[in-house]
Amino acid sequence: MPNKNAPSRLISSQFSRRTIAIAVSLLLVAGAATISFSGHAEKSAAAAPPPVTVTVANVIERSVTEWDDFSGRVEAIERVEIRPRVSGTIEAVHFKDGQLVKKGDLLFTIDQRPYKAELARAEAARAGAQARAALARTELDRTRRLIEDRAVAKRELDERENAHQEAEANLKATEAAVQTARLNLQYTEITAPVAGRVSRAEITVGNLVGNGGTAPVLTTVVSVSPVYVNFEVDEPTYIRYASAGTAGNSGVQRIPVAIGLTSEAGYPRIGHVQSFDNRLDTGSGTIRVRAVFDNADGTLMPGMYARVRTGDANTKNALLIDDRAVGTDQDKKYVMVVGDDNKAVYRQVVLGPMTEGLRVVRDGLKKDERIVVNGLQRIRPNDTVNPETVAMDARVAGLQDIGPAKPAQVAVPVQAKAEQATSAQ
């Protein structure tokens, strides 16, 4: 007799085998995934790069003179435009273009003949006036003697005195005319009013020139030595100088100042500050400064561009770092400070000028803190580094970077890193 429960047992047996097969498959998949994840983790751990080797140095403190750099122009102390004071024809030019002249050297000669004739006429008129004045004096004396004898009327004496006064006045007028004629004759010889270098002759021989305010410029003469160098300093720099005892132009000679031309290295020419201007330009926020420099060799010429460096009158202690240790983050300056745990920490700093080849730090660092001076572009904030210590003022140019460069070539601030992590999520 057939078993009615056989189909049920068959179905149950098939279901059990299928369940077991599925379970075994899941276990195999799970095992494979575990093995794969473990292998990937081991590979990731093995691929982690070593700390980047960087060069670090301790922030130093020194007593220094803090220098400030500006741009200036050379200007002659004396500059004269030579214009004719009498009209006439240019007869001669007595100098060569660019020649050095002394005060009183003859530069131009204007035709003198009309002025010599005028002087002769004035002298003749003066001689006539002298004769009339002498006659009036003689008649006056005679009348005074006659009036004592009552030989003439008092009225005649008054007329003689009046004639004498008129003759004396006319004599003075003719003497003034002679002086004017003599001056005009002297003005025909145009001389250098100051010693210096003369420019070229703007009006040549044979040209007719006039006189007065609209007279043409014949040439110019500029003094050679010493010379001014004019430049402008910003308001904070002036306040710093004033607080050191140079307010109101008192003690400005104590401010060290030097210049260098475009063709010169450094600042080889030493001078002294003569004065600050009496007001600050509100448009540019600067104040004009005038310095004086010797120019015995004549190299400095008016209009030349000069690099100007000024310093504090007194030395002071300042923190100094290598300029290569400074990075730029938009409008901010920063350095990487390496702590005892060898982690690089982003630190914003306020910088001053260069001095003795190092950069002055006004704020943001402390003495003896370690900062990265080479390899700054290879690290990010909070990276662990392998520091190699050198002296801050040692020239370590030529060091090669060690290891592959990271994708980011500029250190990223903490806030920027947070924004990048948020965008990645």
User: CA 35, 39, 44: angle at the middle one, nearest 5?
Assistant: 150
Tens-digit pLDDT profile for residues 238-291: 888 888 777 777 778 888 999 999 999 989 999 999 999 999 999 999 999 999
**Structure confidence at residue 11 as a pLDDT band (50, 70, 90):** very low
* DSSP track, 267-317: --EEEEEEEE-SS-BTTTTEEEEEEEE--TT----TT-EEEEEEE-SS-EE
Question: Region 55-82: what's the mean pLDDT?
Answer: 91
Q: Is the predicted pLDDT of residue 5 greater than 70, yes or no?
A: no
Residue 144 has φ and ψ, to the nearest 5°, of -65, -35
R_g (Cα) of the chain, nearest Å: 48
Residue 185 has φ and ψ, to the nearest 5°, of -65, -40
Residue that wins the pLDDT comparison between 410 and 220: 220
User: CA 163, 168, 172: angle at the middle one, nearest 5?
Assistant: 145
- The label of the residue with tokens 């122009």 reads 73
Residue 6 CA from chain centroid, whole number: 110
- Distance between first and last Cα of the chain: 71
Q: Is the predicted pLDDT of residue 192 greater than 90, yes or no?
A: yes
**Which residues, 6+ apart, have CB-to-CB distance to 69 below 8 Å?**
307, 308, 309, 353, 354
What is the location of CATH 1.10.287.470 in the chain?
Answer: 112-187
Half-sphere exposure of residue 234, counting CA atoms within 13 Å on the CB side?
Answer: 5
Topology of the domain comprising 112-187: Helix Hairpins (1.10.287)
Q: Tell whether the torsion through CA atoms of 161, 167, 171 and 177 is positive or negative.
A: positive
From residue 195, alpha-carbon distances to 26, 222, 225, 388, 396 in Å are 108, 8, 10, 63, 52
**Structure confidence at residue 414 as a pLDDT band (50, 70, 90):** very low
CATH of region 53-63+317-424: 2.40.420.20
Q: Tell whether the torsion through CA atoms of 296, 302, 305 and 307 is positive or negative.
A: positive
Percentage with pLDDT > 90 across the chain: 52
**Structure confidence at residue 420 as a pLDDT band (50, 70, 90):** very low
Question: Region 111-129: what's the mean pLDDT?
Answer: 95
* 185, 123 Cβ separation under 8 angstroms: no
Q: What share of the chain is helix, strand, coil (3-state, %, to 5)?
A: 35, 30, 35
User: CA 252, 254, 256: angle at the middle one, nearest 5?
Assistant: 100
What is the location of CATH 2.40.420.20 in the chain?
Answer: 53-63+317-424
Residue 121 has φ and ψ, to the nearest 5°, of -65, -40
How do strand 385-389 and strand 52-58 relate by DSSP bridges? parallel
Determine the pLDDT at residue 51. 87
Determine the pLDDT at residue 242. 85
- The label of the residue with tokens 């024809």 reads 89
Three-state DSSP class for residue 397: coil
